[in-house]
Amino acid sequence: MIYLDNAATTSLDTEVLNEMLPYLQTEYGNPQSQHAAGRLAAQGLISARDRVAKVFGCRAEEVYFMSGGTEAGNFAVKGVCAAKKRGHLIISAIEHPAVLKSAQQMEGLGFEVTYVQPDKNGIIPPEEVEKAVRPDTVFCAVMAANNEIGTIQKVEKISEICTRYGIFYYCDCVQSVGVVPFPTSASAFAVSAHKFHGPKGVAAMYISGGSRISPLICGGMQERGLRGGTVNVASAVGLAAALERAAQGKNNTYIASLRNRFVGRVLAEIEGTALNGDPVLRVPSNANISFEGCDGANILMCLDLRDICVSTGSACSAGAVTPSHVISAIAGEERAKSAVRFTFGKYNTPEEVDRAVDVLKQIVSQTRRDKSGLD
């Protein structure tokens, strides 16, 4: 199998697993328990939090563990709205659904939302964010790197605008680890371990001390009362171990070389192809390409039959396929329908890239032949 879907998830690194195992097998206590087993688990959790804080560049008390990037996005939007009770939100139109759908839910509760559109390369202009600011704006979300097109946003500038107007700024950093420096000038940001060779189902979120945010999940007083539920110590340890490795960005040059080889060959050897997103301001792993006259979902299926894993940004609900909201926003629905996302990782090889291009060439020309036969 050739796995070119590293933005969806990644394999768990063995060294990360080895660090987690003791907390699944021997040091399995509840970190809140007042006995030796609990203290051992609590030590593991303290150390994981310290390690994450060091990488983030913040204080340990500002790190919160939770179930994933989806929970972090929900928590940021709904937690701030619950604390503020009313007001206006600024949300980039190309956020992950965790943020977009949370904002839509808040609209239903009486909050007003301005959705800021990207330019044709998928960049959210900071000046458009500033133009959207109102006296009652309480929250802003613009992600560091987009999950579909990999475009890197002007996070520092947006952070500076939000600080100036006293707006809570949430920056989704799920796709930017090791590429974009952590924006500690934001009010909050989050990473999800399974995107960088850590375990699934765990995220770490930075929330600046003194922020006004209410818990999304209530329960015990875990995570300083902001996130109820027994902390998954093994996963927190795994996240810390994977984050330390990924944040160094040591594989970026190699991953970019694979991506560039792929994009270079596809654009040169397959007619009617276009790269979606900014050609330069993008994460090294991402290639999102539209194939004129083809259906992205069909290419995905044909590649899958040939043992190559990729993705489209399309959402499937009630049997209908909705093209990606991100590519629709930057290049229109037609381009979105024919888009396929290829995301490379440290375990991919140049041979895999070449094989993927060769298979893709066959699939695209067959699809176009079939289509012209039907027309």
Asked if 134 and 166 count as a contact pair (C-beta separation under 8 A), the reply is no
Instruction: Give the nearer residue to ligand PLP in terms of CB position, either 66 or 303.
Output: 66
CB of 339 to ligand PLP, least distance (A): 16
- Specify whether the backbone of 109 is left (phi greater than 0), alpha (psi in -120 to 50) or beta: alpha
> Which residues contact ligand PLP by CB under 6 A?
68-70, 73, 96, 98, 143, 147, 172, 174-175, 192, 203
CB of 8 to ligand PLP, least distance (A): 6
Instruction: Give the nearer residue to ligand PLP in terms of CB position, either 69 or 118.
Output: 69
CB of 235 to ligand PLP, least distance (A): 11
CB of 141 to ligand PLP, least distance (A): 10
Asked if 218 and 228 count as a contact pair (C-beta separation under 8 A), the reply is yes
CA dihedral sign of residues 63, 67, 69, 70: negative
Instruction: Give the nearer residue to ligand PLP in terms of CB position, either 84 or 195.
Output: 195
Asked if 152 and 176 count as a contact pair (C-beta separation under 8 A), the reply is yes
Which residue minimizes CB distance to ligand PLP?
Answer: 69
210-130-287 Cα angle (round to 5):
95
CB of 360 to ligand PLP, least distance (A): 23
- Specify whether the backbone of 224 is left (phi greater than 0), alpha (psi in -120 to 50) or beta: left
Query: DSSP secondary structure string, 193-212?
Result: GGGGTS-SS-EEEEE-TT--
| Enclosing H/E stretch for 340 | strand 339-343
Q: Which two tokens mark 14?
A: 């063995």
Using CA atoms, how far apart are residues 313 and 322, in angstroms rounded to an integer?
9
Q: Which two tokens mark 227?
A: 């996130």
Asked if 323 and 311 count as a contact pair (C-beta separation under 8 A), the reply is no
Catalytic residue of the set 58, 81, 162, 316: 316
Instruction: Give the nearer residue to ligand PLP in terms of CB position, either 40 or 89.
Output: 89
Instruction: Give the nearer residue to ligand PLP in terms of CB position, either 31 or 313.
Output: 313
Q: Residue 272: what are its φ and ψ, rounded to 5°?
A: 65, 40
CB of 354 to ligand PLP, least distance (A): 27
Largest CA distance in the chain: 73
User: Is 316 an annotated catalytic residue?
Assistant: yes
Instruction: Give the nearer residue to ligand PLP in terms of CB position, either 132 or 203.
Output: 203
Among all residues, which ones are annotated catalytic?
A: 316
